[in-house]
Structure 1
């Protein structure tokens, strides 16, 4: 690889109307970013300080919030710079970093959701064995695997990508995702198959496992008492809603990154923004509203803050 290659700058060609609406974009996106930080930090804070929330389910929820903060911080600051700049460019190395963060954290979310599904299965279907099965070591191992496996697999992809020569210097998006693979002079067959491998083992397998697990849960709870069914609904439905949101946005990312479409740039821009808004913001709001214990502590925190202000 030539020395000059590392200094290659790539144009982000997915922006629309930045000259006219740059400041408006900045204000709206900054508000969203601050909201994402506040909501996710609140979830993490509440779970950390309350001992009754030091359970596997809530620990996994906190891990999802950590992912949301890291994901947003890898994307939003660069967008702030771009909407206020005349040229929307990014260095090749920074683009690779965004690519790494985007997909490693995205696939980590699916693994965390599968760990949560397993936790719910053991809690509802094997309650007497739950303390033994879901001990501290098990939770630590599941967390480590959820973060390590995607990071390791994406590191391999980054190393291979770094040796590819760039012939095109414009990405049709506002951040670096799989569209950057179209920049290389030669499309690597190995990288295409490796990307499919990552998608299968880090996304498809967890999704299938989650669906299978929840089917088992619903079959067992269907024949149980009302209290058990209520508990299953309260804890499982939020996870399923998050999974559906993740899956829909993941499918959209794969379709737009891998195929050429004739949709207007404005439509691509709106959909790209949805990817970086929905996931980080949807999680804490959903869990804060739907999870009874988290909601209770958040309401107490808000009332306490209100009392201190007055």
Structure 2
């Protein structure tokens, strides 16, 4: 029987188990995919500990995971766009991709380009479409100076690159270990921590036009202190801060499409978008994978390889 990640109650990493489950069967319009790689994301951790119960409650036993890359194993009735053996990248909305086999709606898959490594394809959807949405949310373009908090993380590392492609000057907040990577990608690195406000002002003598918060921890207030307009501040994590101040908290929804994913795949394949992979883990080590992710010092993505 195939294996999948499950948890029966809210809790820390130790509630996660890898279990044998019945083989999924694709219904009409669905595709069964054998997963080669599946990214993990901080939002999944927040759901598992119950922090987002009011917004996205879990039903038990719960699976996990949205991102995936793999090989089509079987297609359901009415599916003519995919065949067994096709290599695909996509996502599910059923919290199910952390598994050996997963059923996916046929419209939530795009072709994997051979130039895109499996672990990159499996990590692309959530971080990539969230980064795309970040850029859209703050209306970034040529002439803008944009500060990105959490600039070297899974979402941040892609956000800064898409901002540069949009023509913006980008200031990336990150630890010193990631400063060389940021410079190599055309980003002005600034260390977070005490004195960060002054360091940002020094790096942006002409002022800051937009601010993207991928980290939380008070950056919404810092953006306002920098004089950034509320409609040009977006946080993907500090929902309470957004509600309190009136800044944006637009997630990936507006960009969560197969068209955007296909465009991201093309950029990766052409060498125009670098997707850093911090670490890979076998499915059996899902607990350690999340421990690694939630230390919040990774450059790029942590990925499961079922």
TM-score by length of 2: 0.25
Answer 1 or 2: which has greater strand percent.
2
Normalised by the length of structure 1, the TM-score is 0.25
Structure with greater Cα Rg: 1
User: Could you say which structure has the greater relative contact order, defined with CA pairs below 8 angstroms and 6 or more residues apart?
Assistant: 1
Q: Which has the higher helix share?
A: 1
